[in-house]
Structure 1
Amino acid sequence: MSQSWHGGHSMYIHEQKNWPQFQWDKENLAELLTSVRYRQGRLIGHMEALGFALREEAMLQTLTQEVIKSSEIEGEMLDQNQVRSSLARRLGIDIAGSVPADRNVEGVVEMMLDATQNFQQPLTEDRLFGWHAALFPTGRSGMHKITVGAWRTGERGPMQVVSGSIGKEKVHFEAPDAEKVPEEMTRFLDWFNTNSDHDPVLKAGLAHLWFVTIHPFEDGNGRIARAIADMQLALADESPQRFYSMSTQILKERKDYYDILEATQKGALDISTWLTWFLQCLDRAFLGTNDILSNVLLKARFWEKHTSVSLNDRQKLIINRMLNGIEGKMTSSKWGKMAKCSKETAIRDIQDLISKGIMIKEEAGGRSTSYVLNDSTKK
């Protein structure tokens, strides 16, 4: 029994008779896919030509971005230093000034690393439940208790994507009924693990859409869909090393992302528009790698230039933080907080760096003096 009208719009894509037999314009997409694959290959070649240490740092920055931005798309802000420290620890990369990470940060990092480092392992129900449990370590989403590490149940009524204030809600999408989820997910996972007819990059876009349309969990579907796409992109690269961040680009284009997703989920089984957007977004994500690379080279040049200068651990920590980009200005009180030392010690550290020509006082003056790195190392 299928009504063709739900609250004034025709069927959702998953209610179409031949769901999930997606179609797309293969000829039109072929050209775009070729150019995306070409740029992807060049980018990986470029990164592999870097020395080991630079490549490690580039990967650490890329994964840090990916984890932070995927959460930010959902409106959740994670602490950059915690994410970076958690990733470095798990990847066995030695970084200065490692900080302990909260459970929720550890969870997102765990999921992202499992997806990208173990991309050759099949994606199973059990593995997805593990990711989901890692995302919600307290069994809650915000204040609400949710079903964790299992498919959603129908207890709360239909699973809808809604925006707007109470009384003025707009339903953007309604997912398949909860009792259909196990069967839908079995079919999805069978396809994901076995079907190799499609180019893996195209398959990443397809998997993202298909998973998020089933919407199998009570919460976290967007982040898991992006992790699945990342897993598929690692398969496309045939490498666990990540040098571009799709989520960073999706965040920049968040409005288009949601608009195209909604239009596709309310449309027929031809998903050419979605796949075109996905490939173009990925193409733009490669450009973002230039920013990461220039920052990596900048840091490397900075440390090369100052190899012979003796610095204490606090100074190394804060300089690295400044090179990674900090929020706002560096002041002596901010230094004290970050390095966990007294203001007096902070002032001594800063004065020492000024005398060594590594830092300079900013012109502005005013109530609190701020300091910057003295260098061409500043972009």
Structure 2
Amino acid sequence: TGEVIYTPPPPSDVSQLMKEFVEWLNNKSNISPVLAAGISQYKLVDIHPFLDGNGRTARVLCTLILYQNGYDFKKLFSLSEYYDKDRAGYYEAIQSVRENEMYMTYWLEYFTEGLKNQLIEVRAKGEKAIKKEIIIEKAKKFNLNERQQKILLLLLKKERVSVEEMRNILNLVRRTVQRDLSKLCDLNLVKEISKSKTDPTKYYKLL
């Protein structure tokens, strides 16, 4: 369209702006680390000190600040994933600061909402990883065969699956799937959810 979205500061100003930014970074102890991370991410993007990679570098800095303040995400966390799902919202939030005389409320609301969503995903991933380890240990304890282990891992991935879905995904005979599921139910590893024995909507899930 030819529209200029953002014009960075002139190169002659970057050195001083970065000096002021670093001084602020080293004296931000009275600010919540979450807000400090959000402000830092915006400031580095705004100063635009590099020809390329300013956004990525800003997100790395943001993650570092959080990590230094006890937010250890065990490599399960990436704000980039959140921004990639909502590029328009990300740019709108960034632009709102520039259009409102550096008033950061809208950007920080967007940033903290993204952080919250990613933390929820981290928790879900962590819980799934723990559950997978528990399943592996139970498989060893009950001496489950390879098919039965695959059924458990499938249920971990999809949460609820019908016999027909299992048969198609695992390429097994229906009777074999039913027999394995019956054993897993007897071992209290899997639960059958149905209204009756002949319920066509019957499915299975992990206990």
TM range (shorter): 0.5 to 0.7
In the alignment, the residues of structure 2 paired with residue 362 and residue 199 of structure 1 have an alpha-carbon distance, to the nearest angstrom, of 54
In the alignment, the residues of structure 1 paired with residue 104 and residue 83 of structure 2 have an alpha-carbon distance, to the nearest angstrom, of 18
Are 2:14 and 1:181 equivalent residues in the alignment? yes
Pick from 203, 207, 211 the counterpart of residue 44 of structure 2: 211
Pick from 344, 360, 364 the counterpart of residue 170 of structure 2: 360
Between 207-216 and 279-288, the greater mean CA deviation after superposition: 279-288
Measure how far apart 1:221 and its partner are. Answer: 0.8
SS in 2 for 1:170: coil
Count of paired positions: 165
- AA of the residue aligned to 2:97: T
Pick from 185, 198, 219 the counterpart of residue 31 of structure 2: 198
Contact kept in structure 2, 1:234 and 1:242, CA below 8 Å: no
Pick from 84, 88, 99 the counterpart of residue 266 of structure 1: 99
Contact kept in structure 1, 2:96 and 2:106, CA below 8 Å: no
Within 5 A, what are the aligned runs for 1:1-379? 168-237=1-70, 239=72, 241=74, 244-307=77-140, 308=143, 360-361=170-171
Decide whether aligned partners of structure 1 residues 221 and 267 sit closer, same or farther in structure 2, where only a CA change above 3 A counts. same
- AA of the residue aligned to 1:205: G
Greater RCO (CA < 8 Å, at least 6 residues apart): 1
In the alignment, the residues of structure 2 paired with residue 258 and residue 195 of structure 1 have an alpha-carbon distance, to the nearest angstrom, of 26
Contact kept in structure 2, 1:299 and 1:323, CA below 8 Å: no
Measure how far apart 1:360 and its partner are. Answer: 2.7
SS in 1 for 2:170: strand
SS in 1 for 2:5: strand
Q: Deviations over 1:294-315 (max 9, x none)?
A: 431342133223335698xxxx
In the alignment, the residues of structure 1 paired with residue 102 and residue 138 of structure 2 have an alpha-carbon distance, to the nearest angstrom, of 57
Measure how far apart 1:198 and its partner are. Answer: 1.1
- The corresponding residue for 2:197 is none
TM-score (norm 2): 0.64
In the alignment, the residues of structure 2 paired with residue 205 and residue 169 of structure 1 have an alpha-carbon distance, to the nearest angstrom, of 30
SS in 2 for 1:216: coil
- The corresponding residue for 1:47 is none
SS in 2 for 1:283: helix
SS in 2 for 1:174: coil
SS in 1 for 2:6: strand
- AA of the residue aligned to 1:360: L
**Greater Rg by CA:** 2
- AA of the residue aligned to 1:197: N
Contact kept in structure 2, 1:244 and 1:286, CA below 8 Å: yes
- AA of the residue aligned to 2:171: K
Instruction: Note the residue ranges of structure 2 that are not aligned, 5 or more in a row.
Output: 147-153, 158-168, 174-180, 185-189, 191-203
Moved over 4 A (4+): 238-244, 308-311, 322-325, 374-379
TM-score (norm 1): 0.37
Q: Which structure shows the higher helix fraction?
A: 2
In the alignment, the residues of structure 1 paired with residue 145 and residue 32 of structure 2 have an alpha-carbon distance, to the nearest angstrom, of 52
Q: Deviations over 1:110-146 (max 9, x none)?
A: xxxxxxxxxxxxxxxxxxxxxxxxxxxxxxxxxxxxx
In the alignment, the residues of structure 1 paired with residue 145 and residue 172 of structure 2 have an alpha-carbon distance, to the nearest angstrom, of 23
Decide whether aligned partners of structure 1 residues 300 and 238 sit closer, same or farther in structure 2, where only a CA change above 3 A counts. closer
Contact kept in structure 1, 2:38 and 2:62, CA below 8 Å: yes
What do you get for the CA RMSD once the two structures are aligned?
3.7
Contact kept in structure 2, 1:212 and 1:222, CA below 8 Å: yes
In the alignment, the residues of structure 2 paired with residue 232 and residue 183 of structure 1 have an alpha-carbon distance, to the nearest angstrom, of 22
In the alignment, the residues of structure 1 paired with residue 155 and residue 57 of structure 2 have an alpha-carbon distance, to the nearest angstrom, of 31
Decide whether aligned partners of structure 1 residues 310 and 179 sit closer, same or farther in structure 2, where only a CA change above 3 A counts. farther
